[in-house]
Amino acid sequence: MNEEIVRELVRRFKHGEEKAYNELVNLYKQRIFNLVLKMVRNREDAMDLAQEAFVKAYHSLKDFREEASFSTWLYRIAVNLCLNFTQRDRFRSFILLEDLTQPVLSSDSPLKDLEQKELDKAIDQAVLNLPSKQRTVFILRHYQELPHSEIAKILDKSEGTIKANYFQAIKKLKKSLAGFIE
Partner 1 sequence: MRCKNIQVKLVDYYENSLPPEEKKLVQSHLEICSSCQEELQKIRSTFELLKNESAYEPDEAYWINFIPGVRSKIEKGWGTTLVPIPKLKIIGGIVSLALVLLLGIFFFKEDQRVMFKSSEEPYSYLLPAEGEKIDQLFYAEAGNESSISKLFSDTDRNKLALAEIELEKNNWGKGGKEEALRELDLKQLENLKKDLEKTKFKKEIL
Return residues touching partner 1 (CB under 8 A): 22, 25-26, 29, 33, 37, 43, 47, 50-52, 54-56, 58-59, 84, 88, 101-104, 116, 119-120, 123, 142, 148, 163, 166-167, 170, 173-174, 177-178, 180-182
CA 140, chain centre distance (Å): 7
Cβ–Cβ < 8 Å for 39, 86: yes
The torsion defined by the Cα of 30, 174, 104 and 79, in degrees rounded to 10, comes to -20
> Residue 146 CB, nearest distance to partner 1 (Å)?
12
Three-class SS state of 133: helix
Of 59 and 65, CB closest to partner 1: 59
Report the residue number, 1 or 180, with the smaller CB distance to partner 1. Answer: 180
CA–CA distance, 13 with 7 (Å, rounded to integer)? 10
What is the distance between the alpha carbons of residues 109 and 106, in angstroms, rounded to a whole number?
6
What DSSP line would sit under 15-30, residue for residue? Answer: TT-HHHHHHHHHHHHH
Closer of 54 and 75 to partner 1 (Cβ): 54
User: For residues 7 and 30, which CB has a smaller minimum distance to partner 1 in the complex?
Assistant: 30
Q: Cα(8)–Cα(14) distance, rounded to whole angstroms?
A: 10
20: closest CA among 77, 69, 58, 75? 58
- Rounded least distance, CB 136 to partner 1, Å: 16
Report the nearest approach of partner 1 to the CB of residue 87 (Å): 8
Indicate the residue among 154 and 173 with the shorter CB distance to partner 1: 173
Supply the minimum distance, in Å, between the C-beta of residue 97 and partner 1.
Answer: 13
* Closest separation in Å from C-beta 74 to partner 1: 13
